[in-house]
Amino acid sequence: MTEAELRGQLVELSASLFARGFSVGSAGNISARLPDGYLMTPTNSSLGRLDAARLSKLDDNFTHLAGDKPSKEVFMHRAFYRARPDAGAVVHLHSTMATAVACLEDVDPANPIPPLTPYFVMRIGRSMPVVPYYRPGDAAMEPAIHAAAKGARAILLANHGPVVSGANLRDAVHAAEELEEAAKLYLLLRGQATRTLTALQVEDLLRTFG
Ligand code: 13P
């Protein structure tokens, strides 16, 4: 995919997330890897109204090269790309259900949402840790996110929201959508006797779908 095509895809997928309520106001930020750096949504921009020509362009070290000033969460994105050489895109949202789970006290911080459905496991993987709270834009979050992302495609930032990576932009967006649905199911089912997938079923999914 050319840079122009990636810019167009980033604008289109961001607008789709916004239109369906996965982000509101100027919440959320999205980045995608280029052969020579990264594209990132500008700070304070709405995912619903991005301009392809004004997306932030960063070099390999995440130094701002062109376009509008990048998201204040550049450290969050850098932590993911450095921890996961397989990541082609990173999506951060404040989507309601996943953020609600990120506010719960009584979940396992190593894996707050159980394997309820195959697509959650296929898109997010075996685990999705909760990383402690940091003020949005705080560079101090980078080591904690880097450590967590080494073992997981997605994390929940406590009291803030999900950060999801994928092999490419479309995959990362699909994974973020699937995570939001899994969080919704989990919250709907809390307090009820629930059948989760077994460890064998989870391993079978990961073996088959990667
Ligand atoms: P930016 O507007 O700087 O991307 O920040 C939005 C956000 O979601 C903070 O977590």
Q: Please check the confidence at residue 119 and state whether its pLDDT lies above 90.
A: yes
Which residues have any ligand 1 atom within 6 Å of their CB? 26-29, 41, 43-44, 71-73, 92, 136
Most informative mutation of 10, 26, 64, 145 for ligand 1 (most atoms within 8 A of CB): 26
Choose among 65, 63, 50, 70: nearest CA to 6.
Answer: 50
Q: How confident is the model at residue 127 (pLDDT cuts 50, 70, 90)?
A: very high
CA pair distance 104, 193, nearest whole angstrom: 19
The count of domains in the chain is 1
pLDDT at 56: 98
In tens, the pLDDT along 8-66 reads: 999 999 999 999 999 999 999 999 999 999 999 999 999 999 999 999 999 999 999 99
Q: Percent of the chain at pLDDT above 90?
A: 100
Write the residue with the smallest CA distance to atom 10 of ligand 1: 136
Choose among 111, 93, 80: nearest CA to 202.
Answer: 111
The catalytic residue positions are: 73, 119
Q: Which atom of ligand 1 is nearest to the CA of 23?
A: 8
The number of beta carbons lying within 10 Å of the beta carbon of residue 186 is 22
72-76 mean pLDDT = 98
Residue 57 DSSP code: E
Q: How confident is the model at residue 107 (pLDDT cuts 50, 70, 90)?
A: very high
Q: Is 165 exposed, middle or buried (0-12, 13-18, 19+ CB in 10 A)?
A: buried
CATH (domain of 81) = 3.40.225.10
pLDDT at 210: 81
Q: Which atom of ligand 1 is nearest to the CA of 94?
A: 8
Q: How confident is the model at residue 183 (pLDDT cuts 50, 70, 90)?
A: very high
Residue 42 DSSP code: B
73-94 mean pLDDT = 98
CA of 174 to the centre of ligand 1 (A): 20
Q: Which atom of ligand 1 is nearest to the CA of 160?
A: 10
Most informative mutation of 22, 58, 71, 135 for ligand 1 (most atoms within 8 A of CB): 71
CA of 26 to the centre of ligand 1 (A): 7
CA pair distance 193, 191, nearest whole angstrom: 7
pLDDT at 198: 98
Q: Domain range holding 19?
A: 3-209
Q: How confident is the model at residue 74 (pLDDT cuts 50, 70, 90)?
A: very high
Residue 97 token pair: 């259900």
The mean pLDDT of the chain is: 97
Q: Angle at Cα 26 formed by Cα 24 and Cα 27, nearest 5°? A: 65
Residue 129 DSSP code: P
Q: How confident is the model at residue 173 (pLDDT cuts 50, 70, 90)?
A: very high
